[in-house]
Amino acid sequence: MNTLKFLKMHGLGNDFVIVDARSSGREGGRRGEPFLNERRIRWIGDRHRGVGFDQLALIEASGDGDDADIRLSFFNADGSSAGACGNATRCVASLIAGELGRNEVSLRTPAGRLEATRLGDGRISVRMTAPELDWRAIPLAVECDTNEVPLDHEGLPRPVAVSMGNPHAVFFVDDVDLAERHGPALERHAMFPDGANIGFARVNGDGSIRLRVFERGAGLTLACGSGACAALVAAVRRGFSNGTARMILDGGELEITWNGKGPVIMTGPVARAFSGEIEFADMDDTEWDR
């Protein structure tokens, strides 16, 4: 029987299982496989048979010569890897800041080195990567202006495409609940070779932005940090925002800032839910693939 310790955290209800591989390790898996393989990640992510999460965040020691405090990688509930997860980054940043006894920490992620700050009010601010706006980098299936992607779907307006280390398409609409209806089909639309996070955004009269995001590999979530960053970038590009906005998500609010170039800054609360241990029995492939 193998045991895996974990911590459950969330940012505005966007929930994560966090595994610290610096202490628990990644080995000891079935038949010599890595301890966290795709089947086990899917099992942990199952909200009925496992723990349940929107993403799993894996903390590892930084490599020799790396200028980051830790390395961090992300996995979706379907077992696939994710290039970025803003709210999970903020959650882990709060842990590392507490561990190191300082307010400034750095994290090496698949999207690059990110810097995070623990503010006096307990919120965590992270400098996300600069957005990628070229169609090849997102990526899209065809060459186009990413500020108005030629994607015509059931009368929806054409979206803005942005990469925040993972691909996003943002639709500006009056009814953000369209995310529930259209998210599943658009997530795997042929325009997005690697799939995409699908955001539905409404710009309010006070400059705030109401947002719902159907996340690639996770579905509709209470909050999506990288999606909020992408939506603010899209709003700036369309001329709907001056560069700072209060993002209103199902689970709460984030503050996002982007000045038209360079990193996107995301600030918001994080919370610990509980810690626990998972015991993995020596199940056969059929059991793991449920």
> Would you call 81 exposed, middle or buried from its count of C-beta atoms within 10 A (0-12, 13-18, 19+)?
middle
Q: Are 17 and 8 in contact (CB under 8 A)?
A: yes
Active site residue 144: no
List the helix and strand counts (H, then E) for the chain: 6, 17
Per annotation, catalytic residue among 85, 91, 144, 229: 85
192 Cβ contact list (under 8 Å, min separation 6): 138, 139, 140, 141, 167, 169
32 Cβ contact list (under 8 Å, min separation 6): none
β-strand pairing of 265-268 with 252-257: antiparallel
β-strand pairing of 197-203 with 167-172: parallel
d(CA 152, CA 133): 20
Active site residue 229: no
Give the active site residues: 85, 224
